[in-house]
Chains A and B, each alone.
Chain A
Amino acid sequence: MVGPLNDGLPSLVTAAHELKSPLALMRQLALMLEDGGLSDDEQKRMLRQISLTSERALRLTNDLTRSIRLSEALFTLEPINPQQLCEDIIHELEPLFAAHGRNVRVASRKHPLLLVANRDLLRRIIMNFSDNALNYTDINTTIEIKVGSINSGKTIRLGVRDYGPAMPINALKLLRGKLAYAPTTIHARPNSSGLGLYIAGQFADAMNGKIGVIRHRDGATFYVDLQASWQLSLL
């Protein structure tokens, strides 16, 4: 049985809505393939789009399951090199981004940083932000993942910067609300339910971190702040 994410939240409706888009896309692509009349290259491209879309939908369902079971599960927090983790994520996401005509890269750093997190949850947060950036960024642009320290080095910030149409002030306010609270009803949002961000916020909470957004003139940076590890200073 699938239970609500939290009391009073329209979780099933939100999750169902979020899954509708990839399912509808896969259905349309499959029907067009059935209709025929496509070149071999076009058929291959559409099949690739179906598989990539199904992977995105499966990521969401996996995140949902993980989110619902978060309170029951025991998970370890360990020192993690965020730069390395982000590079691994990029390796995984590159085919999806390339298929959409976008690039993704990690901004390089001279000095390595370490943070305290659960590898799986942090990976899911960054994947989620990257997926979000893919939706919002313009074609032929590069999404950048940045790792930096704030708060005199006590906090490590991982941010995913997208370059899309500038977000209107009212949309930003709505988004800030989404980052702090549960998903709103489907009628209240400009594009998505905010379910992915909500789940990312849950994962960050579980690691004593927080997520946020910084608005830029031509896009946004979604970030997660986590506690720095002091292991490096002991070396």
Chain B
Amino acid sequence: MKKTPILIVDDDEWLAEQYKRSLNSQGYDVTIASHAIAAIQLVDDIHPSAIILDVLLTGSTAFALLHELQSYSDTGDIPVIICTNLAGDLSIEDLKPYGVRRILDKTKMLPSDLLVALRSVLL
């Protein structure tokens, strides 16, 4: 059976590795991009079922990627989970038009919260 492809976009590679390990153990096929430019290419290559996205990235921010995703009909529907230290500054209502379905606060979340959020957006 084909595993569900998930794209993690985070320039904190140690954290991204742990997310990947955790999601791999639950049967997801996880790919990591460390910046938005790489992520845009990977979206075309792996067609992720969901994207886990940090906000502050090397080079372009997450918002550049969100705009890019919304520019195409086939990528505009990919659910996005924002996973950031800036959760307190973001509003899910403001970001819904950009495909954002959940916002997780890295400073407060438990490791299992990512899996719960992912399952909820893939329903």
Contact = CB atoms under 8 A, between A and B. Distances in A.
A and B physically associate: yes
B18 interface: yes
Given A20-B85, A20-B107, A168-B60, A191 B15 contact: no
Contacts of A191: 11, 56-59, 61
A46 B12 CA distance: 14
B123 interface: no
B56 A24 contact: no
A100 B14 CA distance: 8
B37 interface: yes
A168 B58 CA distance: 11
A200 to B, nearest CB: 19
Contacts, number: 68
A35 interface: yes
Of A25, A28, A138, which is in contact with the most chain B CB atoms at under 10 Å from its CB?
Answer: A28
B13 interface: yes
Contact of A190 (B59, B86, B110): B59
A23 B14 contact: no
A28 B89 contact: no
B18 A32 contact: yes
A17 B57 CA distance: 14
A162 to B, nearest CB: 10
B111 interface: yes
B47 interface: no
A165 B57 CA distance: 11
A217 interface: no
B107 A171 contact: no
A57 B1 CA distance: 44
B102 interface: no
A135 B15 contact: no
A28 B59 contact: no
A31 B85 CA distance: 16
A35 B25 CA distance: 14
A192 B14 CA distance: 18
B35 interface: yes
A35 B8 CA distance: 21
- Across the A-B interface, give the 7 residue pairs with the lowest CB-CB distance, nearest first: A24-B106, A20-B85, A24-B107, A49-B14, A165-B59, A32-B111, A191-B56
17 contacts: A25-B12, A25-B14, A28-B111, A29-B15, A29-B18, A31-B111, A46-B18, A49-B14, A165-B37, A165-B58, A165-B59, A167-B59, A186-B89, A187-B89, A190-B56, A190-B58, A191-B61
Interface of B: 11-15, 18, 21-22, 34-35, 37-38, 56-61, 85-86, 89, 106-107, 109-112
